[in-house]
Structure 1
Amino acid sequence: MIFEPAPTVVPFQMTNLPTLTGFTSSGDYVRFLVASSHQPKPLCYDVPVATKLSLLSDPSSEFSMNGELKLYGGKGFKEIAIHYKTDHLLTLNTSEIRYSDGQNHVKFVWGQQPTKYERDSVSLILENDELNVTMGTVRVVLLLHKEDGDVFLWPAVRHLPKNVTLQGILGKTDVQYEQLTESQIKIKDQPLRAEVLRSNATDYGRTSAPSVDCWLVPLPFVLQGKLSDFTVSQL
C-alpha cells in the first residue's frame, strides 16, 4: 500500500491586503497624535527617543522645521530648528530662543516678559510658555511643557498653505481611516491595513495637554513610509 502525504491546508482569508503589526513600550518612545476629523478616534504612533525628525517642510515657501527628541523622559523635544528661505534660522531649546535673518540677531528666554518681534514676513510672539511663529504662509506654535520634573518642547501646526505638497511627520494631517474589525483598520483609498490597540496619548500640542483616547498603530502605517524617510542628520 502506498501512502501519499496529506494535502497542505491553506487558511481561508477574506482579504489579501498586507497587515502591519508590532507595537512599542512607552519608556523608550515618544507618542504622536494624528488628527482624524469625522472619525471616532484619532490615530497615534510611537517614535524612538533621541531621533532627529523632519517635522514639516514646504519646499514651495522654503520653510522647514526639524526637531530632536529628548533621550530621557520619553515625552517631547529637547531642540527644534526652523529654516526659512536662505538666511532665516530660528533655534529653540528648553532654556532659550535664538533667531537670525543673516543681519539681525535676537535672543529670548523662556519665562521673560511677553515679547513681539516682526520683520518682513516673519513674526515671533513669545508669551508665557508659547512661541507663536509665522514665516510666510506657515504658522506654528512651539510650546514649553513642564511635567513631573521633565521640561521639553512640542510643536503644533496652526496654519498651512493650501494646495501644496507638505513633507515631514506633521505634514500628515487629517488622516481618514476605515474600521474593518474591532482590531483592524485601513486608511481610506489605501490597500494597507493594520492591527490597532486601544490606547491614549497626551496632546502636547495644546497648553492644557489633555489625555486623548486613540488607536495605536505602527508608524509605517500612518506615515506611509519608514522612519528613516522622516529623519535628518542635523537640525
Structure 2
Amino acid sequence: MALVLVTGAASGIGRLAAEGLARAGHDVVVHARSADRLPGDLVRVGEVIGDLSEADAVRGVAERADRFGAFDAVIHNAGVIDGPDVFAVNVVAPYLLSALMVPPARTIVISSSMHRSGTPDLANLDVARPEVRRRPYDDSKLFVTALALHLAVVRPGALAHAVDPGWVPTRMGGAHASDSLDEGSRTQEWLATAPVEEIDPRTGGYWFHRRTQSPHPAVLDPSFQAELIEMLAHHTGVVLPQDG
C-alpha cells in the first residue's frame, strides 16, 4: 500500500488517477484549489487545499502535505492551459513542492506532447508574464519535463518520471480530444505504485501509455536543466535540495 499525493485531483485525469489509486487500495491524499471543488464521493485519506498560482499558498500546501508523513509518490497533475498563471501552476508550483516537501520516493509530473513545441530559451524569461512567450503552455510543459528529469539526476535514490497522458477529453483537453480518457491516468498510477523492477528505465523516463518516448532534446541537456533550476531558485528564493 502506497501513500500518494495527487495535485489537481478535483477533475479530469487527476481525479481519475486518485480514484484508480484508491480502488487499488492505496492511501490517497488529494489536492484542490478550493474545498468546494472536491467531489464528495472521491475516496481519500486526506486533502490539502491551496491555490497553486500563489507562492504563499503553495508553501502552505507543502506544509500541510508533510503532516501526512513522507509520501511514497507525488503526482504533479495540476495544470492550466492558458492565462496569466500558466508558469506559476505548471512549473513554479511543482518546483516549490519538490523543494519544500520531504522528498517522496517517487515523483511523477504530467507533461504533454506539446512540450516538443516549447522553446528552451530562458534568457529574459519573465515567469509572471507568460503571455509574452510565443507558446506559453508548450514552454511550461518543456520546463516541467526538464524539472522531472533533473530530479532523476540529483535524487538518484528516488524515482522521477514525466508522463504524457495524451490528448484526452477533459475540461482542459476539450470534447473533441482523440486519445483515450481511460488511458489518461494509468501510466502515472503505475509509475507511482509498481514494483521498481517493473519500471525500465528505473528513473528519468518520459512516458506515453507505459512506453518511453524521446522528449525534446533540451530536457535531457544538463546545462539547460541547471539554467532552469537556477532561474526557478532565483524567482522563488528557494533552493532545490539534492541528495547524492
TM over 0.5: no
Going by fraction, where is strand more abundant, 1 or 2? 1
Greater RCO, CA 8 A, separation 6+: 1
Q: What interval of TM-score do these two structures reach, taking the shorter chain for normalisation?
A: under 0.3
The structure with more radius of gyration? 1
Please report the TM-score for the alignment, with normalisation by the length of structure 1. Answer: 0.26
Please report the TM-score for the alignment, with normalisation by the length of structure 2. Answer: 0.25
